């Protein structure tokens, strides 16, 4: 465990003084994930969850492969713990977690799926304290509680979800819980790796290393490729695939990892709560669902917490 911390400290000590812009880059990267379900739900009409994730990764690899080739010298000297971190990020956070989240959207209650994603900070904070020895910001627990209350209001409003517990034991909810754990862990592993190589390299390895696993899973699944017949339908599916791959896929992670270079993993995972807020806005714009009073209050509470944390200094101090 100490070796992991030692591998991060030297790099952190030579960086420039961290700026608050890094925190907001993480917020922006996570916010772009909010448009992800809009593409993914449409694609589920034609493809399986695994097929969607595979095609998404194949498109992204075309763009990131030249980046890895250019920065291939950064692969020299990687130790086993770095390889494990990269495999966790790519196989767990990129491949398996995305499949689980897509399956959750297809098989679960959307409110339950989104609420369970709020458990990501708990997984990330525990791992950040254990692996990276991070000191939490001042009043972090109070701000974290404020953000959790906000996400609760976004999901359930003022109601107590006593009558909704059946939604949380369905298969879709279990898929979402698994995705939350893997994405929370990937936040910590990503923070470790951006201390060893450029964020562009980490992003490229995330998708490239996941591709063989996705090919194997898709082949083993044996699902029928029921692509739509007709030029118009095919173009529509193709545009959704490209949009899904490049906007909430590649672009969001480039922005996210750039911000992560100067942001603690435990703080970054709270910044990622911008994802549900964007989800509410997408529902309002795309599906004409009016934002309710509790949702508006939840929106404000989360942003108050994010703003308070961004105002603090020494976000990247390691102990």
Q: What is the pLDDT of residues 126-164, one digit of tens each?
A: 788 777 777 777 788 888 888 888 878 876 778 766 655
Say yes or no to pLDDT of 58 above 80.
yes
Residue at 22 is within a domain: no
How confident is residue 73, by pLDDT bands cut at 50, 70 and 90?
very high
In total, how many domains does the chain have? 1
Say yes or no to pLDDT of 244 above 80.
yes
pLDDT score of 10 = 34
Say yes or no to pLDDT of 245 above 80.
yes
DSSP H helices in 194-244: 199-208, 210-221, 231-244
Give me the domain span that covers residue 185: 2-10+28-310
Higher pLDDT, 38 or 169: 38
The H helix count followed by the E strand count for the chain is: 17, 0
Structure tokens at 185: 């862990």
Residue at 318 is within a domain: no
Share of the chain above pLDDT 70, in %: 82
Residue at 20 is within a domain: no
pLDDT score of 141 = 84
> Mean of the per-residue pLDDT values for the chain?
79
Residue at 317 is within a domain: no
pLDDT score of 293 = 85
Structure tokens at 280: 């509410």
Phi-psi region of 195 (alpha: psi -120 to 50; beta: other; left: phi over 0): alpha
Higher pLDDT, 151 or 118: 151
Q: Find the mean pLDDT for residues 240-261.
A: 86
pLDDT score of 56 = 93
Q: What angle do CA 219, 101, 213 make, to 5 degrees?
A: 30
Residue at 101 is within a domain: yes
Question: Concatenated DSSP letters for 53-103?
Answer: HHHHHHHHHHHHHHHHHHTGGGGTT--HHHHHHHHIIIIIIIIIHHHHHHH
pLDDT score of 110 = 67
* Least confident segment among 158-162, 184-188, 197-201, 232-236: 158-162
Say yes or no to pLDDT of 230 above 80.
no
What are 252-276's pLDDT values in tens digits? Answer: 888 987 888 888 777 777 787 787 7
Residue at 291 is within a domain: yes
pLDDT score of 36 = 83
Give the list of residues 6+ apart from residue 77 with CB closer than 8 angstroms, or none.
Answer: none
Say yes or no to pLDDT of 16 above 50.
no
What are 88-112's pLDDT values in tens digits? Answer: 999 999 999 999 998 988 886 665 6
Residue at 197 is within a domain: yes
3-class DSSP state of 318: strand
Question: Concatenated DSSP letters for 279-319?
Answer: HHHHHHHHH--PPPHHHHHHHHHHHHHHHHHHT-S-TT-B-
Enter the DSSP assignment of 5: H
Say yes or no to pLDDT of 193 above 80.
yes
pLDDT score of 317 = 37
Residue at 84 is within a domain: yes
Higher pLDDT, 310 or 21: 21
Structure tokens at 188: 């910590």
State how far the Cα of 228 lies from the Cα of 42, in Å rounded to an integer: 12
3-class DSSP state of 134: strand
State how far the Cα of 81 lies from the Cα of 306, in Å rounded to an integer: 32
Instruction: Quickly tell me which residue has 């209350």 as its tokens.
Output: 149
Query: Model-level pTM?
Result: 0.74
State how far the Cα of 26 lies from the Cα of 22, in Å rounded to an integer: 6
State how far the Cα of 129 lies from the Cα of 143, in Å rounded to an integer: 18
pLDDT score of 6 = 30
| Dihedral sign, Cα of residue 3, residue 7, residue 10, residue 16 | negative
């Amino acid at each position: 465990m100490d070796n992991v911390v030692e591998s991060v400290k030297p790099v952190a000590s030579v960086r420039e003084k961290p700026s608050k812009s890094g925190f907001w880059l993480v917020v922006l990267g996570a916010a772009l994930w909010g448009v992800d379900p809009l593409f993914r739900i449409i694609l589920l009409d034609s493809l399986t969850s695994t097929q969607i994730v595979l095609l998404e990764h194949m498109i992204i690899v075309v763009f990131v492969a030249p980046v890895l080739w250019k920065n291939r010298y950064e692969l020299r000297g990687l130790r086993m713990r770095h390889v494990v971190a990269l495999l966790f990020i790519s196989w767990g956070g990129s491949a398996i977690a995305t499949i689980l989240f897509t399956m959750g959207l297809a098989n679960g209650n959307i409110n339950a799926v989104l609420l369970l994603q709020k458990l990501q900070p708990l997984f990330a904070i525990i791992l950040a304290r254990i692996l990276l020895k991070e000191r939490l910001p001042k009043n972090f627990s109070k701000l974290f509680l404020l953000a959790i209350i906000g996400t609760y209001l976004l999901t359930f409003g003022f109601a107590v979800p006593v009558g909704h517990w059946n939604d949380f034991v369905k298969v879709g909810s279990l898929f979402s819980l698994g995705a939350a754990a893997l994405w929370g862990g990937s936040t910590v592993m990503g923070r470790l790796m951006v201390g060893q190589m450029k964020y562009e390299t980490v992003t490229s390895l995330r998708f490239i290393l996941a591709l063989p696993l996705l090919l194997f899973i898709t082949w083993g699944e044996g699902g029928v490729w029921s692509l739509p017949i007709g030029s118009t339908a095919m173009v529509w599916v193709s545009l959704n695939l490209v949009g899904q791959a490049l906007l909430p896929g590649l672009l969001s992670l480039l922005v996210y990892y750039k911000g992560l270079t100067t942001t603690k993993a435990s703080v970054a995972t709270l910044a990622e709560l911008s994802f549900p807020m964007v989800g509410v806005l997408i529902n309002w714009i795309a599906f004409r669902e009016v934002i309710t009073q509790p949702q508006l209050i939840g929106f404000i509470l989360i942003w108050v917490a994010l703003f308070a944390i961004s105002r603090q200094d020494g976000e990247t101090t390691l102990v």
